[in-house]
């Protein structure tokens, strides 16, 4: 087997492992590269221990573990949309976060028929 073939085989074997290690929405972070080296996810450092998210989401654009939530929806000027970790119970959230209806945090789910009705927030 030549050197190029061996390299291609090694890459083929490693590719699934590298893709599978991508941090999820809601994971802790210090800087945005903790969430994604490609820049598609950012670290919201205003959240306790950081929060991997995607800003300015639209319905259906968040990963499967998350849902698009619009915060401050009654004020167009201050409204902001983020992908937020979905949950069904408290154990779905990391330490320091609870499973709540986003309405309790001045938010609303911005999805037609979301997979989750509650999300992990501090």
Task: For the chain, give the mean pLDDT.
Answer: 87
User: Higher-confidence residue: 9 or 67?
Assistant: 67
Mean pLDDT of 31-41: 96
d(CA 102, CA 117): 8
Please say if the pLDDT value at position 8 is more than 90: no
The more confident residue out of 50 and 10 is: 50
CA angle 114, 76, 54 (to 5 degrees): 45
Task: Identify any residues that bridge with 86 across adjacent strands, giving them in sequence order.
Answer: 119
DSSP assignment letter at 51: -
> What is the pairing mode between strands 118-121 and 42-43?
unpaired
pLDDT band of 76, cuts 50, 70, 90: confident
Over residues 80-97, the pLDDT tens digits come to: 999 999 999 999 999 999
What pLDDT, on the 0 to 100 scale, is given for residue 13? 45
Residue with tokens 């619009």: 70
**What residues does each domain of the chain span?**
23-121
Q: Is the pLDDT of residue 18 over 50?
A: no
pTM: 0.79
pLDDT attached to residue 1: 56
């Amino acid at each position: 087997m030549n050197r190029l073939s061996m390299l291609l085989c090694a890459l083929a074997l490693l590719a699934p492992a590298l893709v599978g290690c991508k941090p999820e929405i809601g994971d802790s972070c210090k800087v945005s590269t903790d969430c994604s080296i490609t820049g598609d996810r950012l670290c919201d450092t205003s959240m306790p221990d950081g929060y991997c998210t995607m800003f300015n989401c639209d319905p259906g654009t968040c990963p499967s573990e998350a849902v698009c939530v619009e915060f401050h929806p009654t004020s167009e000027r201050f409204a902001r949309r983020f992908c937020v970790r979905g949950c069904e119970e408290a154990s779905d959230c990391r330490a320091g976060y609870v499973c709540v209806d986003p309405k309790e945090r001045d938010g609303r789910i911005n999805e037609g028929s979301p997979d989750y009705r509650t999300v992990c927030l501090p």
